Amino acid sequence: MTLQRIVLDFRSGELLVRCLYRTNRGPNPGTKARQREVQELTRSGLQDALDALEGRVDVVGVSGYDVREDTLSLPRPDEPAAARRAAS
């Protein structure tokens, strides 16, 4: 499994996490093993995002409304050279 994207959606009283990933395995989304794999993939992806926020963060896109939506550009944890450049 390869993590592609994690989207966090904060709603009143709940948090929705959408995890987009690639896998070569069959279409068995209801199995407990698959559920555990996706949980671990999401957990490690969120931890990588938190680690990336410790370094330099660039705001690369903004909206122009009263409710703001900024897009952050963070170094990928699997690309150590980019992470070192961003931290310096």
Q: What is the pLDDT of residue 67?
A: 66
Q: Are 86 and 55 in contact (CB under 8 A)?
A: yes
| Burial class of residue 40 (count of CB atoms within 10 Å of its CB; 0-12, 13-18, 19+) | exposed
- What tens digit of pLDDT does each residue of 52-87 get? 888 888 888 777 667 666 677 767 666 655 555 555
State how far the Cα of 83 lies from the Cα of 9, in Å rounded to an integer.
26
What confidence score (pLDDT) does residue 56 get? 80
Interior angle at CA 14, CA 39 and CA 69, nearest 5: 95
